[in-house]
């Protein structure tokens, strides 16, 4: 019989960035351990353990050993939580699982390719269809939950509440021409969201890292350098992201720069858009 730590307990062990915000109220932080077994009725749930069962054959690598404990792999975890989370939270989970610091892809917990490959092999498992739908909108390389949420708002299709401006990639590396990066004291930079065909960068300027005069000055120099490399730059700040009308104005301007027209006809847009906005963390202004 197979027995392994799964679901929300596995999510804690994998140290997924900002997991509390990703899972919301479903992530209670209690001491209850979620365990999955391969045979029905082998154990019953109690105050300390929540028992799940999975009698179907799992793909290779679905269960891994970490510190002597059997645990659901990140890919299996994604499939398991497809039965617990809304489609938006599931997409956000995928983005965070595939996130990593700038220039360090080896530090990602998993990748879109690994998630997709696992799901293709997990035929017959409950939640697979929803997980397959969600992974279509997952991309590698986000470096923060705010980048992930901005990406969802800007790129998800109208039926899921996004503005449908797809085609962006996270943290695209630009090698700076000799001499152009000397003011920044670096020879490369990473663009938060990049539309490669349009050569257009979207930079998210958060309260946390872009509010001081020094940081704003560096942002201006960085934008000028990118412009010298033929890359247009648009800046989205925290207020624009959180204010629905300001965000729509930004999306309209972005669409125009991409040569697109936004015509939202989906009857589900307003409802779905507010569900994405419900994922935004509580706004804390910077210290004066």
pLDDT digits (tens, 9 = 90+) for 51-96: 888 989 999 999 999 989 999 999 999 999 999 999 999 999 999 9
In the chain, domain spans: 3-135, 145-277
Q: In what order do the strands lie in the sheet with 200-205?
A: 168-175, 188-195, 200-205, 232-237
Q: What is the mean pLDDT of residues 171-175?
A: 92
Check residues 211 and 133 and name the one with the higher pLDDT.
133
Q: In what order do the strands lie in the sheet with 49-53?
A: 49-53, 33-37, 3-5, 69-72, 63-66
Residue 210 has pLDDT above 50, yes or no: no
Q: What is the mean pLDDT of residues 1-23?
A: 92
**Mean pLDDT over each residue of the chain, to the nearest integer:** 89
Tokens describing residue 144: 């923060």
Check residues 52 and 28 and name the one with the higher pLDDT.
52
For 137, counting Cβ atoms within 10 Å of its Cβ (0-12 exposed, 13-18 middle, 19+ buried), the class is buried
Question: Do 167 and 200 contact (CB within 8 A), yes or no?
Answer: no
- Tokens 């009698």 found at: 55
Q: What is the mean pLDDT of residues 97-115?
A: 95
Tokens describing residue 74: 């990140």
Question: Comparing C-alpha atoms, which of 49, 6, 53, 5 is closest to residue 30?
Answer: 49
Maximum mean pLDDT: which of 25-34, 95-104, 208-217 = 95-104
How far is Cα 81 from Cα 77, in angstroms, rounded to an integer? 6
The pLDDT score that the predictor gives to residue 2 is 83
Residue 1 has pLDDT above 70, yes or no: no
Tokens describing residue 181: 């990066």
Residue 29 has pLDDT above 80, yes or no: no
Residue 119 has pLDDT above 60, yes or no: yes
Q: What is the pTM of this model?
A: 0.91
The pLDDT score that the predictor gives to residue 47 is 65
pLDDT digits (tens, 9 = 90+) for 160-169: 999 999 999 9
């Amino acid at each position: 019989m197979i027995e392994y730590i799964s679901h929300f307990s596995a999510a804690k062990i994998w140290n997924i960035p900002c997991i509390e915000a990703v899972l919301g109220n479903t992530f209670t932080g209690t001491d209850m351990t979620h365990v999955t077994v391969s045979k029905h009725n082998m154990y019953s749930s109690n105050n300390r353990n929540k028992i799940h069962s999975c009698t179907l054959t799992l793909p290779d690598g679905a269960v891994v050993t970490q510190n002597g404990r059997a645990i659901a792999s990140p890919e299996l975890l994604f499939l398991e939580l497809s039965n617990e989370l809304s489609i938006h939270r599931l997409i956000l989970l995928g983005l965070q699982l595939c996130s990593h610091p700038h220039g360090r892809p080896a530090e990602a917990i998993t990748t879109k390719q690994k998630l997709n490959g696992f799901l293709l092999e997990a035929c017959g498992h409950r939640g697979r269809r929803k997980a397959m739908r969600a992974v279509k909108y997952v991309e590698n390389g986000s470096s923060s939950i705010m980048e992930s949420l901005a990406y969802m708002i800007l790129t998800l299709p109208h039926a899921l509440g996004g503005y449908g401006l797809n085609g962006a990639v996270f943290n695209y590396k630009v090698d700076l021409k000799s001499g152009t990066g000397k003011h920044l004291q670096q020879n490369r930079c990473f663009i938060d969201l990049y539309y490669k065909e349009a050569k257009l960068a979207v930079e998210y300027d958060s309260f946390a890292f872009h509010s001081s005069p020094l940081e704003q000055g560096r942002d201006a120099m960085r934008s000028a350098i990118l412009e010298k490399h033929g890359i247009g730059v648009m800046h989205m700040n925290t207020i624009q992201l959180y204010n629905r009308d300001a965000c729509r104005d930004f999306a309209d301007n972005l669409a125009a720069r991409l040569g697109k027209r936004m015509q939202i006809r989906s009857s589900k847009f307003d409802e779905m858009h507010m569900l994405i906005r419900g994922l935004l963390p509580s706004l804390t202004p910077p210290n004066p």
